[in-house]
Chain A
Amino acid sequence: MVENVKELLKLHEGIKHEVYLDNENSTMVPQEVIDAMIPYYNKKAYGNPTLTHKPGWEAFTAIMESSKKIADSIGAKNLEEINFTPGESEANNLALMGATAANATKGKKIVISEIEPINILNVTDLMKKQGYTTTKVPVNREEGLLDLEKLKEAVDKETALVSIHLVNNEIGTIQPIKEAIDIVKDRNPKALFHTDASDAYGRIPFNVQDLKVDMATLSSFKILGPRGSGALYIREGTNVERIIEGPIGTQKLWPGIENTPLIIGFTKASELAFNSFDANVARMRRMRDKLVNGILQTMTDIVYNGTKGDKRSPDNANISFRRCEGEALTIELSLKGVYVSSGSACSRRLLQPSHVLVAIGRHFSEAHGSILMKVTRYHTEEDINYVLDSIPSSVERIRGIVGSTGVD
């Protein structure tokens, strides 16, 4: 199988230009971030931060300073509210399972949106075994905005926890979290509110104290930091239990020896995102708009998935090409050096496409023909022009294979 993939890679030789737009699923890490991390492997702070020697104290200092910087970036009150985890999935597992376990008397109901990221959906599925039931609140068609009336109906005295993401990872919709929290706390002041803010962090301004969330998940890789790092913000006074056991160090809720270089990388990525926040966002928005407008203005039989304007994250573009199968399109584009992902799920016996696209009213075939692209502040006009040159011919070739088949 590895040999097969090596052969596939050979087919990519001679590509003139490469543009990576699959920043939903993994990202490149900027050199500045790597440069910040490297010394922490063997020059300084490589000790265990709980031990009584210089490299340990260096690590302790590095981690505490990182906590402070991450705390400041989201307006947290103090650095103890930041809990580093090995990533977004781990932070979400900790939030949902750790908080419900620590507040077991509060009830056995969980409320989420129907378009939560998979790493929330899969956790609530797992929690069924622990006796929790989950209500999925619908979103409106096209935009994918949370239905606040239905949220109100879903929350009652038995609700232990509500988890609604701040920005949707597939269609970029910014959810009305502030209003949602008011509704939830009004219905049940004891219910905890968690938000997976991974796709909002570094893209839209938010402050956890203004939002009044109890917990918020942050991801390192989603802001171009190294994979394997993330954090869970937990408001002071909110009880959360560990969900795995091991040696406890500076991170009371996640055992194991702290991975200082990854925490440093995450923090550096955060600094880069926030030091010129407005300029970064403006650039992402300009590149995204150029990309989307370029496609919408020149191509036919397409649908723009999600909302436009202020209610959408500045980096996100999601477009369905009718009469075009998505997985085939990702391969065709890869051979030209354009790397994207698709909402097609042509990989199982029961082929269910993206639950987000289906929730906003896309037909299955539209969801199968969807492409998700996320720009970063590193993309250039030249990159976007190259993508705009590559997409139409690729879509046309796949449509040529489809012919009259599967037109609904």
Chain B
Amino acid sequence: MSRIPLPYNPKVLDLFQHPKNLGKMEDATVVAVAGNPACGDMVTFYLKITDQDVIEKASFESYGCAANIATSSIVTEMVKGLTLKSAWEDITWKKVTEEVGGLPSIKFHCGVLAVGALKRAIRVYFEKKGAAPDWVPKDHTFEEKQALEEEELAKMLSKRLKTEEEKK
């Protein structure tokens, strides 16, 4: 157990102080959640998608640290106006991290989670539509796997806690 220095850069702080595209979207086409509050990081993505599969607008809500808020916010900016295909292919956690000016390595997972939520939203959209474009792989991408892993860990922790409580 230890504490780690967190030298956030000004861009992260600016997005933390003035997040763009914050809040629930009432007319969202698709909503996706990633993470778990037990892990201290959870993000909800709202996407409004046109009939031509273009992201018209995106918004987010985040239960998380400054890095989580900043990366989620920047993803909603980056995807605006993109086709789902280019959002899927071009938005990687590395790009997101670069876009916020870099993150302390210990916070990389925040960017991964934001991209995981985005990919999840795109998947859900096509599932709902009953379509399966060939550029959406059957297997989960790195970011989706990481999100799942984090959620599994949270579940495991909660379960362990419950068993310990019962023992008491």
Q: Do A and B come from one complex?
A: yes
Which residues of A are in contact with B by a Cβ distance under 8 Å? 1-2, 4-5, 7-8, 11, 25, 118, 121-122, 138, 141, 323, 325-328, 331, 335, 344-353, 355, 358, 361, 363-365, 368, 400-408
A contact face: mostly helix, strand, loop, or mixed: loop
B37 touches A331 (CB 8 A): no
Residue of B nearest to A118 (CB): B1
Complex interface residues of chain B between 1 and 52 (CB less than 8 A to chain A): 1-4, 6-10, 13, 16-17, 19, 22-24, 33, 35-44
Q: Is B141 an interface residue (CB 8 A)?
A: no
Indicate whether B64 reaches chain A with its CB closer than 8 angstroms: yes
By a CB distance below 8 angstroms, the chain A residues around B39 are 350-351, 364
Chain B residues closer than 8 Å to A350, beta-carbon distance: 39, 153
Partner of B7, one of A8, A121, A404: A8
Separation of A268 and B4 alpha carbons in the complex (Å): 31
B109 in contact with A349 (CB, 8 Å) = yes
Q: Are A328 and B64 in contact (CB under 8 A)?
A: yes
Cα distance A7–B107 in the bound complex, in angstroms: 19
Q: Are A364 and B37 in contact (CB under 8 A)?
A: yes
The answer for the CA separation of A193 and B10 in the assembled complex, in Å, is 49
- Min CB distance A178 to B, Å, is 24
Q: Contacts of A408 on B, CB cut-off 8 Å?
A: 37
* Pairs across A and B, CB under 8 Å, 22 listed: A7-B13, A25-B3, A121-B1, A141-B168, A325-B68, A331-B66, A335-B17, A344-B40, A344-B65, A345-B40, A346-B64, A347-B3, A347-B6, A349-B109, A363-B38, A402-B62, A402-B63, A403-B23, A404-B61, A405-B62, A406-B37, A407-B37
Binds A, one of B75-83, B85-93, B157-165: B157-165
- Name the one of A122, A327, A365 contacting B37, with C-beta atoms under 8 angstroms: A365
Asked if B106 lies at the interface with its beta carbon under 8 angstroms from chain A, I say yes
- The tally of residues in B whose CB lies under 8 Å from a CB in A reads 47
Query: Do residues A346 and B65 form an inter-chain contact, with CB atoms below 8 A?
Result: yes
The reply on B154 being an interface residue by CB < 8 A is: yes
B22 partner, pick from A122, A358, A400, beta carbons under 8 A? A400
Q: Which of A5, A122, A351, A403 contacts B40 (CB 8 A)?
A: A351
CB within 8 Å for A328 and B37 given contacts A7-B10, A8-B10, A405-B62: no
Judged by a CB distance under 8 angstroms, whether B55 is at the interface is no
| Beta-carbon contact of B37 and A11 below 8 Å | no
Is B58 close to A, CB under 8 A? no
Q: Which residues of A contact B22 (CB under 8 A)?
A: 400-401, 403
Q: Which residue of A lies closest to B168 (CB)?
A: A138
Question: In the assembled complex, which residues on chain A have CB atoms less than 8 Å from the CB atom of B44?
Answer: 403-405
Distance in Å: Cβ of B14 to nearest Cβ of chain A: 9
**Contact call B161/A358, Cβ cutoff below 8 A:** yes
Residues of B within 8 A of A (CB): 1-4, 6-10, 13, 16-17, 19, 22-24, 33, 35-44, 61-66, 68-69, 104, 106-107, 109, 150, 153-154, 157-158, 161, 165, 168
For the A-B complex with A8-B7, A364-B37 known, give 8 more contacts whose Cβ atoms are closer than 8 Å.
A11-B10, A11-B13, A327-B65, A350-B39, A364-B158, A365-B38, A402-B63, A407-B37
Contact yes or no, B65 A122, CB < 8 A: no
Contact of B62 among A2, A364, A401 (CB under 8 A): A401
Q: Name the CB-closest residue of A to B67.
A: A346
Q: Are A364 and B154 in contact (CB under 8 A)?
A: yes
CA distance A141 to B68 in the complex (A): 31
Q: Given A4-B10, A346-B64, A347-B6, are A405 and B43 neighbors across the interface (CB < 8 Å)?
A: yes
Known interface pairs A11-B13, A350-B153, A401-B69; A406-B6 also in contact (CB < 8 Å): no
Docked Cα-Cα span, A141 to B164, in Å, equals: 12
A325 in contact with B40 (CB, 8 Å): yes
Task: Please determine whether A4 and B7 come into contact, CB atoms closer than 8 angstroms.
Answer: yes
A150: nearest residue on chain B (CB-CB)? B168
Complex: how many Å from CA A11 to CA B16? 13
Contacts of A348 in B (CB 8 A): 4, 106
A122/B64 in contact, CB under 8 A: no
On chain B, the residues within 8 Å of A4 by CB distance are: 7-10
Please, which residue of chain B has its CB at the minimum distance from the CB of A10?
A: B10
Give the complex CA separation of A108 and B1 in angstroms.
24
